């Protein structure tokens, strides 16, 4: 069993990572972090060690992967299907109506096209 986190070095990516770790531990699953940002995943070596330690304490494994596909939504969906993941965790950010219309939404595509459950989390939690 595997939980995939669509990660980008931004607040919504960090929230997805936090929730993805919690889901992996809860579901007794391994964690697959897919870098959907441009370039390096942006996680510091100490952060990676902390994540690995958390998962090892729960008896879970960690894999970090990037895709050669230029579209992050396609990358997440393809890797999720190839790896037969049990859940995808993605972070949401607030966008204006015009922003949604012009730019579309990677998260929306993942929600609509994924063949497994998707957990969408907000970085700007309501208090």
Residue 41, pLDDT > 70, answer: no
Residue 10 lies in a domain: no
Residue 69 lies in a domain: yes
Q: Give the domain CATH number at 38.
A: 3.40.50.620
Residue 34 lies in a domain: yes
Residue 10, pLDDT > 60, answer: yes
What does the angle CA 93 – CA 89 – CA 105 come to, to the nearest 5 degrees? 40
Name the residue with higher pLDDT: 23 or 65: 23
CA distance 101 to 20: 28
Residue 7 lies in a domain: no
> Global pTM?
0.84
In this predicted model, what pLDDT tens digit does every residue of 46-97 receive, in sequence order?
888 888 888 888 889 998 887 777 788 888 999 999 999 999 999 987 766 6
Least confident of 27-41, 70-84, 109-123: 27-41
Count: domains in the chain: 1
Residue 79 is part of which domain span? 26-93+105-127
Residue 12 lies in a domain: no
Residue 4 lies in a domain: no
């Amino acid at each position: 069993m595997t939980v995939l986190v669509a990660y980008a070095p931004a607040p919504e990516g960090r929230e997805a990572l936090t929730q993805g770790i919690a889901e992996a531990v809860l579901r007794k699953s391994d964690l697959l972090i897919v870098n959907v940002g441009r370039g390096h995943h942006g996680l510091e070596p100490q952060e990676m060690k902390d994540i690995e330690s958390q998962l090892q304490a729960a008896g879970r494994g960690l894999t970090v992967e990037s895709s050669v596909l230029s579209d992050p939504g396609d990358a997440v969906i393809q890797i999720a299907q190839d790896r037969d993941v049990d859940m995808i965790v993605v972070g949401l950010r607030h966008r204006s109506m015009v922003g949604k219309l012009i730019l579309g939404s990677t998260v929306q595509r993942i929600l609509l096209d994924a063949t497994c459950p998707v957990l969408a989390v907000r970085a700007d939690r309501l208090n």
